[in-house]
Amino acid sequence: MLEFPHDAHTHTTYSDGIGSPADNIAAAENLGLKLLGITDHSHYLAVKTFNRYIKEIERWAEDSEIVVLAGVEGNITFNGVDVPDFMAKKLDYVIASVHEWVQTPEEYIELVKLALLDENVDIIGHFGANFPYVGFPSEESLREVLELAEATGKAFEISSRYGVPELEFIRECVRRGIRLTFASDAHEPSDVGKVSWCEKAFKKAGGRKEDLLFESFL
């Protein structure tokens, strides 16, 4: 049983997930989650589809006994995060993740810094998922990321899908008052709410309820 039962990162058929928003919500309700975020990939959501997306989530949220939030997962590109203002305004929150092919950890860090400076972004998604492939950044780079996140009030997710960020990084977030979320990054309803790894890492890092971005719903 989870102490902080929430999942702030799930996908549906609006992008590359296989369940509908209703399917994800039903899965979250069955598990006893208190909060579910639906966060489809921004590049699947053209204006018309986006409006349908928001309406559908809002309709199901009204009928649900749990808190259901509408978000997106934007891509951090070398030109910035691909979530336009009109989208961000209608959303409860925006996750920004690196999905670009990068060659070095420094490139990855530069991308994340772009997102940390973007007003529309609330949460950095699966930070460090590429490090095993491109190499780990220096202590100094990580410190710069943490300082910028602290200054701009951004949060990081703890991703059970990728097993990131590193425990030491989560510990630093807690120490600096940078908020955290739990994220399954589910692409099918049966994976919704698989966040026990997140909670374990969070607690190991000394995290308490007030360190969670969505504490008021938990």
Instruction: List residues near Zn ion by CB under 5 A.
Output: 73, 97, 185
- Provide the minimum distance between the beta carbon of 82 and Zn ion in the complex, in angstroms, as a whole number: 13
- Provide the minimum distance between the beta carbon of 210 and Zn ion in the complex, in angstroms, as a whole number: 26
Closer CB to Zn ion, residue 5 or residue 37?
A: 37
Q: How many whole angstroms separate alpha carbon 148 and alpha carbon 215?
A: 22
Closer CB to Zn ion, residue 133 or residue 203?
A: 133
- Provide the minimum distance between the beta carbon of 63 and Zn ion in the complex, in angstroms, as a whole number: 25
Closer CB to Zn ion, residue 73 or residue 172?
A: 73
- Provide the minimum distance between the beta carbon of 95 and Zn ion in the complex, in angstroms, as a whole number: 7
Q: How many whole angstroms separate alpha carbon 80 and alpha carbon 67?
A: 30
Closer CB to Zn ion, residue 121 or residue 138?
A: 121
For Zn ion, the nearest residue by Cβ is 97
DSSP secondary structure string for all residues of 76-132: EETTEE---HHHHHHSSEEEEE--S--SSHHHHHHHHHHHHT-TT--EE-STTTTHH
C-alpha angle 144/142/113, rounded to 5°? Answer: 55
Nearest to 101 by CA among 77, 68, 66, 135: 77
By residue count, the chain amounts to 218
